[in-house]
Amino acid sequence: MGLSILTRMIPLSRTCAGALVLCASVACAQSGSLAVTVTDNEGRAVPDAVVVAVPNDASAMAGARPRAEHLDQIDKEFVPRVKPVFVGSTVSFPNKDSVRHHVYSFSPAKRFELPLYAGESAAPVLFDKPGVVVLGCNIHDWMIGYIYVSESPFFAKTDADGRATIADVPARAYTVRVWHPQLQDGEDATRRPVDVVAGKRADMAWKVALKPEVRVRRAPMAGHGSHY
Amino acid sequence: MEPASPLHFPFARRNVVWARPASTRRRSAAASRAAALALVCAAALARAQTFDAGVEIAHDSNVTRGQLPEDVLHDSYVDAHAAWTWRRDLTDFDTLDAGVTMRGGQYARYTRLSYAAVDGTLAWRRKLGVGLTEPWLGASATLSYEDYREDVRDSSRLELRVEAGRRFTESLDASIGYVFDRRYASRETPDLVPGISGTVWNLQGNAVFARMGYAWSDRWQSDIGYNVRRGDVVATTHRNLPIFLASDAIAESRAFGPDFFDYRLRGTTQAASATLSYAIDDRSSFNVVYAYALTRAAQGLEYRSNLVSAAWAYRY
């Protein structure tokens, strides 16, 4: 009898698998991708730029799920320096250094503080409001990191070559914008409309003006004793 | 040594015996015990470690701290240091650092000024809140032992420092503070002049200071500092009656040639410094430092020095 159940289940599992493949194919056939390049005014690639595609029709975001993310502290730096997350995600902050860190943010999108801790003892933080969250460490002034909380699940971050790809974007109209920690003219100035066509890739390029980076210098200075 | 100068004053001729009385031996032993204790404490507190190193080439326009042209001698030197620091977090806002530094300097012309030294430091720091611009307080105690080529300069040092500071922006920070310094000569020198101590290198002073740093870019940073110290200073000169009258300790000096004497005086030193620093990377920098010091003492005595140096600093 067990064998007969098994023999009936095999075609059933094949059917389920086939249905899944069919659904995925349909979904792929109904989605496209966005390939983005970001450069500065001198034509140099801009890494760590966050590209966000917001659908004009909010129903495209139905079913999007927040995720559990993490942002490490390695060699007394936040790694990665820029972390985009979908609104509603939690982010944990594992400390992989031999020193303790005291992570904090005063940004309106999320104010929080993780008092001195080592390892993975700090509880994850929920980021439930869109916006930019600037992170610091109360011990190491030069440590700075950014969490970009996106209201859209369709986002990506540029790599060292200034390129990013947002895959599996449902075919419809979007407004795409770019953010970077040193962006001079503001995120709103970068908005552009795009129509994503099923099965096709839309190429977009931005040229942005960047301000000089302002952060506390980490390198030591030479001290000098008294000569009296 | 027969006096060659018309300024003849009754130096007693005697055989100089470099004795180390019991009190000096006790101070040296205490300094050794304190350094050993600092090491034990550092090992016990080992939770984190920072390593600092640096090499400097410098030129001092007045190593003798002389006033008259015939007494003002200049020299260049190279010095280097390596320091290890362990940190313990006492609370979310208080840290305690224990450190050991080894340093040394080699002079080019007046090699008897060359030295090797070891320091032990305990430093407490408290940040008064959370955030980049919250002020901080700090206090530290440093115990050092310095061994010079000219033995009479060998000494233990104690430095107590309190400091308060604040970062105003990512680029601008400043601090002010107070320093008490005490130098204990390792050996007592017999009196050269009856009634006037021969142990010149017992020194004490109090200073206040202020400094400010500004980062012009992610690579370039400058620092300026100002320091006023009131206390014992040592001028090394040929026989000099005004200095002699103002001194409370006198000894022969062999560091600069014949007929030089170390005179200890009470004086006020004002010093200003400026540093320009270039960050080679996140761990190291190249620095150019200029410092000017003006000391005024009794009897209208005044001496100045200019110090220029180039230094490489490293931290891991």
Q: What is the DSSP code string of B45-109?
A: T-S-EEEEEEEEEEEES-TT--SSGGG---EEEEEEEEEEEEEEE-SSSEEEEEEEEEEEEEESS
Q: What number of residues does chain A have?
A: 228
Which residues lie closer than 8 Å to B68 by C-beta, 6 or more apart?
B237, B238, B240
Give the DSSP H/E element, type plus range, for residue A116: strand A110-117
Chain A CB contacts of B315 under 8 Å are 219-220
What percent of chain B lies above the pLDDT cut of 90?
Answer: 72
Q: Is A8 on the interface with B (CB under 8 A)?
A: no
Q: What's the N-to-C CA distance of chain A in angstroms?
A: 100
Q: CA nearest B298: which of B249, B260, B244, B237?
A: B244
A226 contacts B229? CB cut-off 8 A: yes
pLDDT of residue B30: 77
Nearest by CB to residue A228, choosing from B48, B205, B217, is B205
The answer to whether residue A222 neighbours chain B at the CB level (below 8 Å) is: yes
A33-37, A60-64, B43-47, B152-156: range with lowest mean pLDDT: B43-47
pLDDT value for A19:
52
Structure tokens at A173: 């109209």
Give, rounded to a whole angstrom, the gap between the first and last alpha carbons of chain B.
53
| A98, A213, A221: residue with CB nearest B218 | A213
- Put simply, the answer to whether A227 touches B223 (Cβ < 8 Å) is no
Radius of gyration of chain B (CA): 21
Contact B60 A227 (CB under 8 A): yes
Is B161 part of the contact surface with chain A (CB cutoff 8 Å)?
Answer: no
| Cβ partners under 8 Å of residue B187, min gap 6 | B18, B19, B20, B24, B151, B152, B154, B199
In chain A, which residues have their Cβ closer than 8 Å to the Cβ of B217?
212
Q: Within 13 A of B181's CA, how many CA atoms are on the CB side?
A: 22
Asked whether the beta carbons of B95 and B124 are under 8 A apart, the reply is: yes
Instruction: Inspect the interface and report whether the beta carbons of A215 and B275 lie closer than 8 Å.
Output: no
Query: What domains does chain B contain, in order, with CATH numbers?
Result: 2-315 (2.40.160.40)
For the stretch B142-147, contacts whose Cβ atoms lie closer than 8 Å and that sit 24 or more positions apart, written own/partner, are B143/B31, B143/B34, B143/B35, B143/B38, B143/B119, B144/B117, B144/B118, B144/B119, B144/B120, B145/B28, B145/B31, B145/B32, B145/B35, B145/B117, B145/B118, B146/B115, B146/B116, B146/B117, B147/B115, B147/B116, B147/B117
Task: Give the DSSP letter of residue B169.
Answer: S
Side-by-side strand order, sheet with A50-55: A155-157, A50-55, A173-179, A192-195
B49 close to A (CB below 8 A): yes
Pick the residue of A97, A106, A134, A217 with the most B CBs within 10 A to test the interface with B by mutation. Answer: A217
What's the half-sphere exposure (Cβ side, CA atoms, 13 Å) at A211? 11
Which chain A residues are Cβ-neighbours of B134 within 8 angstroms? 138
Q: pLDDT grade, residue B246 (50/70/90)?
A: confident
The pLDDT, as a whole number, for residue B12 is 39
How far does the CA of residue B282 sit from the closest CA of chain A (Å)?
5
Residue A72 near residue A97 (C-beta atoms within 8 A): no
Is A217 within 8 Å of B215 when comparing Cβ atoms?
yes
Closest partner residue to B92 (CB to CB) among A115, A213, A227 is A115
B213–chain A Cβ distance below 8 A for any pair: yes
Q: Can you tell me the distance from the alpha carbon of A134 to that of A131, in angstroms, rounded to the nearest whole number?
A: 10
CA distances from B95 to A99, B32, B65, B82 (A): 11, 26, 39, 22
Split at pLDDT 50, 70, 90, the class of A125 is very high
Choose the mutation target among B175, B269, B287, B288 for the interface with A, i.e. most A CBs under 10 Å. B287
Tell me, yes or no, if A4 comes closer than 8 A to chain B by beta carbon. no
Residues 6+ apart with CB under 8 A from A119: A94, A95
| Chains A, B: CB pairs < 8 Å | 110
Question: Side-chain half-sphere of B139: how many Cα atoms within 13 Å?
Answer: 2
Q: Looking up tokens 């390792």, which residue turns up?
A: B186
> Is B316 touching A (CB cutoff 8 A)?
no
Contact at CB, A217 and B221, closer than 8 angstroms = yes
Give the lowest-confidence range in B119-123, B155-159, B251-255, B287-291. B251-255
B218 Cβ under 8 Å from any chain A Cβ = yes
Predicted pLDDT at B18: 53
Mean pLDDT of A72-96: 96
- Of A177-181, B214-218, B267-271, give the lowest mean pLDDT range: B214-218
Q: Which of residues 88-147 of B touch A (CB under 8 A)?
A: 89, 92-93, 95, 127, 130-132, 134
Mean of per-residue pLDDT scores for chain B: 89
Distance CA A53, CA A27 (A): 18
Phi-psi category of residue B222: left, alpha or beta, with phi > 0 → left and psi -120 to 50 → alpha: beta
In the structure, what pLDDT confidence band is assigned to residue B186 with cuts at 50, 70 and 90? Answer: very high
Interchain contact A58–B (C-beta under 8 A): no
Q: What is the pLDDT of residue B23?
A: 77
pLDDT at B193 > cutoff 70: yes
For residues A45-70, average pLDDT: 91
Q: Which amino acid is at A36?
A: V
Of the listed ranges A20-34, A133-147, A191-205, B284-298, the least confidently predicted one is A20-34
| Interchain CB distance below 8 Å, B313 and A218 | no
Contact yes or no for A219 and B277 at CB 8 A:
yes
- Which residues on A lie below 8 Å from B170 (Cβ)? 214-216
- If pLDDT is split at 50, 70 and 90, which confidence band does A173 have? very high
DSSP A30-67: TEEEEEEEEEETTS-B-TT-EEEEEESSGGGGTT----
* Residue A113 near chain B (CB below 8 Å): yes
Q: Is residue A56 pLDDT above 60, yes or no? A: yes
Best residue of B52, B140, B170, B290 to probe chain A, by most A CBs closer than 10 Å: B170
- What's the pLDDT tens digit per position in B22-62? 777 877 887 887 777 766 655 554 444 789 999 999 999 99
The per-residue pLDDT for B8 is 38
Contact B277 A227 (CB under 8 A): no
B315/chain A closest Cα distance in angstroms: 6
Residue A160 has pLDDT above 60, yes or no: yes
A212 touches chain B (CB under 8 A): yes
Selecting from B48, B52, B311 the residue whose C-beta is nearest the C-beta of A98 gives B48
